[in-house]
Amino acid sequence: MSNSAPADISPDAAHLDEVAAGVFGYVQPDGTWWINNCGVITGPDRTVLIDTCGTERRTRHLLETVQARTGTRVSTLINTQHHGDHTHGNYLVDEAVIVGHELCRELIVGHGITKYEGIFDVEDWGDLRARPPDLTFRDALTLHIGDLRAEVYYAGTAAHTTNDIVVWLPEQSVLFSGDLVFNGGTPFAIMGSIAGSRTAMEFLRGFGAATIIPGHGNICGPEHIDQVDGYFDFIQQTATAAHSAGLTPLQAAREADLGVFGELSDSERLVANLHRAYAEIDGLPPGGELDIRPAIADMIAWNDGQPIRCFV
């Protein structure tokens, strides 16, 4: 055991990292469940924000930090997908137009604020109110922020969710990948697709990005696309062997040798990913309807019956 103090994972530990002139990743340690990253693109008189946070206090901290750094108001907010860790704070950016995929809007309108009671152990969500995107699209759109061009693309398939989008800055070679890329955490596709995630990695490679701001974890390079793809390859191989051997996803997870992926945080996602992979072996298309309750129950079983540890 190390004697060093535990790392600071409070909202105060978040940092704005400038990756190109006026372009920032807002990185929140330690990137585990609900602790996401955001993006900031500053223009001469306005700011574009990419994603909010899962709780009121984390989003307030984000907005204060962005305001202090840029001195301009957030005119546009882009949601990379519908999950609450990226959208719960939308209502606090009340003057901004919110851009998202049309399925992102549909899911937020349909489900509102999602706290997954009894699954995650969160002390203080704050006074959350659902606010879906106002401006939706299906395939692509381009935003102009001063001279800076930001291209927004749908991933083209269900992957992490059904509505993943990325923001690409061609002149800066910077890609905001949302949760298509996790750095240091276990990739997760229970609400999207394992096969689709692999297709999405091919899509991400196509940008040839020098810098990636992942949905969780530190800013990284394109080599992390291969790591995520390798993880989903491992999931497919494990599922194929275990499915034909008649194992349940939980049995398969308990027998699996994670190898290098054992170093990733949030390892219980393994069993949920196997549920999705099993369904795909049985013919479910990417993003197809899947009752996620058995997968969640198995993550808790993997976790010795305790709600999933998280630090928001």
Residues 6+ apart with CB under 8 A from 162: 103, 107, 191, 192, 287
Answer for which of 25, 89, 133, 215 binds Zn ion (CB under 5 A) is: 215
CA distance 137 to 238: 36
Rounded to the nearest 10 degrees, the angle between the axes of helix 269-281 and helix 223-244 is: 60
Angle at 89 between CA 85 and CA 94, to 5 degrees: 155
Does position 177 interact with Zn ion (CB under 5 A)? The reply is no
Residues in contact with Zn ion, counted by CB under 5 A, come to a total of 4
User: In angstroms, what is the minimal distance from the CB of 188 to Zn ion?
Assistant: 8
Considering the complex, state which of residue 43 and residue 269 has its C-beta at the smaller distance from Zn ion: 269
DSSP class of residue 10? S
Which of 20-28, 130-138, 210-218, 301-309 is the region at the interface with Zn ion (rule: CB under 5 A)? 210-218
Residues 268-307 that bind Zn ion (CB under 5 A): none
- Considering the rule CB under 5 A, would residue 179 count as an interface residue with Zn ion? yes
Shortest Å, Cβ 269 to Zn ion: 12
**Angle of helix 293-302 versus helix 269-281 axis, rounded to 10:** 140
Collapse the DSSP code of 216 into the 3-class scheme (helix H, G, I; strand E, B; otherwise coil) and give the result: strand
- Return the number of the residue (85 or 298) whose C-beta is nearest Zn ion: 85
Q: Which of 137, 209, 213 is nearest to 173 (CA)?
A: 209
Binding track, positions 235-254, relative to Zn ion; x by CB under 5 A = --------------------
Q: Which is nearer to Zn ion, 100 or 215 (CB)?
A: 215
36/70 with CB nearer Zn ion = 36
Query: For residues 164 and 192, what is the distance between their CA atoms, to the nearest angstrom?
Result: 9
The mark string for 7-46 relative to Zn ion (x by CB under 5 A, - otherwise) is -----------------------------x----------
Instruction: Please give the C-alpha separations between residue 271 and each of 94, 119, 187, in angstroms, as whole numbers.
Output: 38, 15, 12
In single-letter form, the type of residue at position 28 comes to: Q
Provide the phi-psi class of 63: left if phi over 0, else alpha when psi is between -120 and 50, else beta: alpha
Find the shortest distance in angstroms from Cβ 34 to Zn ion.
7
DSSP track, 87-132 = HGGGGGSTTSEEEEEHHHHHHHHHH-S---TTTB--S---S-----
CB of 185 to Zn ion, least distance (A): 9
Within the chain, what is the greatest distance between any pair of CA atoms?
A: 60
Query: CB of residue 51 vs Zn ion: minimum separation in angstroms?
Result: 8
| Nearest to Zn ion of 22, 184 (CB atom) | 184
- DSSP annotation of 264 reads S
- Taking CB under 5 A as the binding criterion, the range among 71-79, 145-153, 176-184, 226-234 that sits at the site for Zn ion is 176-184
Residues 39-98 that bind Zn ion (CB under 5 A): 85
- Select from 113-121, 209-217, 259-267, 275-283 the region that touches Zn ion (CB under 5 A): 209-217
Please identify, using beta-carbon distances, which residue of 215 and 217 lies nearer to Zn ion.
215
Q: Which is nearer to Zn ion, 53 or 148 (CB)?
A: 53
Asked whether position 211 contacts Zn ion by CB under 5 A, the answer is no
The site for Zn ion (CB under 5 A) is made up of 36, 85, 179, 215
